[in-house]
Amino acid sequence: MRPVYNFSAGPAMLPESVLLKIQDELLSYQGSNVSMLEVNHRSSEFFGIIDHAKATLKELMNIPDTYSIVFLQGGTSQQFAMIPMNFAKGRRVAYVDTGFWSAKAIEEAHILNDTLVVGSSKEDGYSYLPMDLNVPEDCAYVHITTNATSEGLMYRDLPDTNGVPLIGDACSNILGFPYDINDFAMLYAGTQKNLGMSGLTLAIIRNDMLHDVEGLPYIFDYKKHIQENSVYNTSPTFAIYVTDLMLTWVKEQGGVEALSQQNERKAAMLYELIDRSGFYSNWVKPSDRSSMNVVFTTNDETLDTLFVEEAAQEDMINLGAHRSSRGMRVSIYNAMPVEAVEKLVDFMNRFQEKYQ
């Protein structure tokens, strides 16, 4: 096991076995004497990887044929713009504001569209997920962030959208929680958190959402990218290769259900300690607490800084909160082993004894 546990929210830790596989194949992909870094994006080797990744994802998430899977660039953030560009079609669009990332999605949608915020917990410090939305029927879609990475909030049950198609930014919990894809018109995620490296975004789109949009450049057109099997232009080939390895790894771990249960166990170890400590605190409504990003504070800025520093000295790195929040954030995606959380819990107990 590698000695350093990287608790960063993203780019995040990859399983050691995946890193070793990449190392092993780096100079010669499957005995070809050609590196995956050099493989052409329209070669049969590369199409083999795209097709294998799509088939594995389809199996892991039980995705029916009525959906398309597509690999894109521009990060999760580019989808914030592409979603309204492709799906608004002159109608109002609805958003739920649960923190930093959903606010960024709203900001982008607002540039081109009449944008309604149908739910927000901003006034309450983003401490819960708004569930009573009252979405007007004429909205083109409702957008949620399935896991609010900076605020430590995660949907387990989904809100009622009044029949309006639901779109989810699942950047930080795709394949970490077993959502039913049939509940979504689109689910999308940058791969750098739970599914590989940076530079790649994955989208799963229900086909009835796809229409010709007048005046939309091809590079921003989901339909075009899907028609071209994710190689409309040069795709991020190496990132797709890494995601394919990660998908296979998820399957080897027993799939999404098994990993989700393990994630809930890892998170529970931390929340239990925080709640009984009388020293650490978390401000999120218990049923809405994320199993991927656990946020907490000692309620003393100096101690919070010290916590991050002393943990790093024990090879547990990147425990500081997102720049929009306070205190600490522990990102425990699929690839974070249980031993790492046990080690952190031990550290937290010792830190409390020392400074309380």
Ligand X SMILES: *Cc1c(COP(=O)(O)O)cnc(C)c1O
- Site residues (vs ligand X, CB under 6 A): 10, 75-77, 101, 145, 149, 169, 171-172, 190
Cβ at position 200, least distance to ligand X in Å: 9
Would you state the torsion angle of the CA atoms of residues 211, 212, 215, 216, taken in this order, to the nearest 10 degrees?
60
Residue 283 falls in the annotated catalytic set = no
Q: Residue 293 or 298: which CB sits closer to ligand X?
A: 293
Q: Please state, in angstroms and rounded to a whole number, the distance separating the CA atoms of residues 294 and 272.
A: 11
Residue 169 falls in the annotated catalytic set = yes
Cβ at position 279, least distance to ligand X in Å: 28
Cβ-proximal residue to ligand X, closest one: 75
3-state DSSP assignment of residue 220:
helix
* Residue in 178, 147, 100, 128 with CA at minimum distance from that of residue 291: 147
Cβ at position 95, least distance to ligand X in Å: 13
Q: Please state, in angstroms and rounded to a whole number, the distance separating the CA atoms of residues 167 and 298.
A: 35
Q: Residue 29 or 329: which CB sits closer to ligand X?
A: 329
- C-alpha torsion sign, points 290, 172, 7, 356: negative
Q: Please state, in angstroms and rounded to a whole number, the distance separating the CA atoms of residues 111 and 240.
A: 31
Catalytic residue among 101, 221, 223, 244: 101
3-state secondary structure 243-290: HHHHHHHHHHCCHHHHHHHHHHHHHHHHHHHHHHHCCCECCCCHHHEC
Cβ at position 176, least distance to ligand X in Å: 12
Q: Residue 77 or 229: which CB sits closer to ligand X?
A: 77
Q: Residue 291 or 298: which CB sits closer to ligand X?
A: 291
Catalytic residue among 169, 221, 244, 288: 169
* Residue in 221, 207, 293 with CA at minimum distance from that of residue 74: 221
Residue 193 falls in the annotated catalytic set = yes
Catalytic residue numbers read 101, 169, 193
